Amino acid sequence: MSIDWSSYRITLLLYLGILLFPLSFYFSYNSFGELLEDTKVISSFARNSTKILTLQNENSLKKKRDIKEEIAVEFEVLRPWILAHSTKKFYVAAEPLEQKYTLLQKCWSENTLFDKEISFTCYKQSKQILFSLNNMLILQQSRIYNIFYINLALDMAFLLVLIFFIRVYAFSNLRKKAIYDFKSKLYSKDYMLSTLKNTSAQMKRTGAALSVLQIDVKDLDSEHKLTQKEQDKILQKFGDSLLKTLRDSDIASRYSESKFVLILPNTPEQQLQMLILRLEKNLADLEHTFNVIEYRENDTYESFIEKLK
């Protein structure tokens, strides 16, 4: 049993296309997860910066020291994240992020007397850093969204192309296995050969006449270099002419691009000549040739098929 490997390849590509969706979403999920983590860090930095202003509203010296220590600890906790993102391409500022953050920590460590002016200077430095971090976050978010939509568009395009090729493949297989030639509306070659085998066996048993007529339409040869639309028009006209001329018991088939075979059961030579005359009249505007193939009693099916070639 022969295996149609092309169908397996198409199925594999279809599975691959389906698999691309979860992979794309997984990548996007990880990117959004990183973005969410960065957002939390920047929010924590913003809250810590706000505490610098609230420090001046406290009257208790002990409370001030506790808040100052909390701010210093939080700045130190955030430092590894700052160092990791100081060279990130989304960071846009005149001074490096690490340098600005070091100045902020130094400013805050020097505010031992809770000086209002120093606190305000530290707050301004933190606001500058926060502004740069927010811009970095916006650029990062924009990039992630762009990548997500690009991946989604590529996945959709891949699936659409794959669906198109599956349709072409299915249509091609349908044409191969169909009993009709879609363009000429005549029987297919495979159906004709199957019918010829049964008909020839039956004619041999009964001794009835069997005529086979081969028609070669020169207009459909590759030498004429017709467009597909022109070829389709000729095929449609030719098929209609044959179907109008033949009997219901006759089998008209498209054997190749330009050759057609008619199986004519119970058709003696005289009747065959009359049929050829009618066909000549209907096909007067097409360049064509007729070839009558005799089916003799000693012919086998295989030897008779050789005469069609």
Residue ranges of domains in the chain: 5-172, 180-308
- Report CA-CA distances (Å) from 305 to 171, 209, 233, 308: 28, 17, 29, 5
pLDDT at position 44? 92
Instruction: For the domain made up of 5-172, give the CATH fold.
Output: f41 fragment of flagellin, N-terminal domain (1.20.1330)
pLDDT of residue 1: 38
Q: Do domains 5-172 and 180-308 have the same CATH topology?
A: no
Over the stretch 109-122, which tens digit does the pLDDT of each residue have? Answer: 988 878 888 889 99
Residue 105 pLDDT = 92
Q: Which of 19-28, 38-47, 139-148, 260-269 has the highest mean pLDDT?
A: 38-47
Q: Nearest Cα to 128, choosing from 160, 92, 161?
A: 92
Specify the CATH number of the domain 180-308.
3.30.70.270
The DSSP letter of residue 188 is P
Q: Name which of 4, 100, 113, 124 is nearest 52 in CA terms.
A: 124
DSSP three-state, residue 248: coil
CB 291 within 8 A of CB 213: yes
- With contact defined as beta carbons under 8 Å apart, do 85 and 78 qualify? no
pLDDT tens-digit readout, 237-292: 888 888 888 888 888 898 888 889 998 888 888 888 888 888 888 887 888 888 88
